[in-house]
Amino acid sequence: MKKVELVETVATNAGLTKADALKAIDATFDAITEVLKKGDKVTFVGFGTFAVSERNARTGRNPQTGAPVEIPARKAVVFKAGNQLKKTLN
């Protein structure tokens, strides 16, 4: 599903215009991003949790040459599905 499809679905299900649904979705994404920037978690009970994970620096290998490559430390967003979402998918 792409963002355009999400906007259409939310607009239809919530009885909103596509413009209002887009504003709501953008505001939601912005709020989640701001919380993650602070290093906090975002939890939607039953759906899941978004969190920031620290990845350590490590040495990898270039698959073409086999030469060692230094991979720098970084932050990554992780998502853990909630129980209700897991049950729905099974």
- Closest listed residue to residue 25, CA positions, set 9, 49, 44: 9
pLDDT in tens, the chain (90 residues): 999 999 999 999 999 999 999 999 999 999 999 999 999 999 999 999 999 999 999 999 999 999 999 999 999 999 999 999 999 998
Q: What does the domain layout of the chain look like in residue ranges?
A: 1-39, 41-90
CATH of the domain spanning 41-90: 4.10.520.10
Q: Residue 29: CB partners within 8 Å, gap ≥ 6?
A: none
Distance CA 58, CA 71 (A): 5
pTM over 0.75: yes
CB atoms within 10 A of CB 5: 9
pLDDT at 38: 94
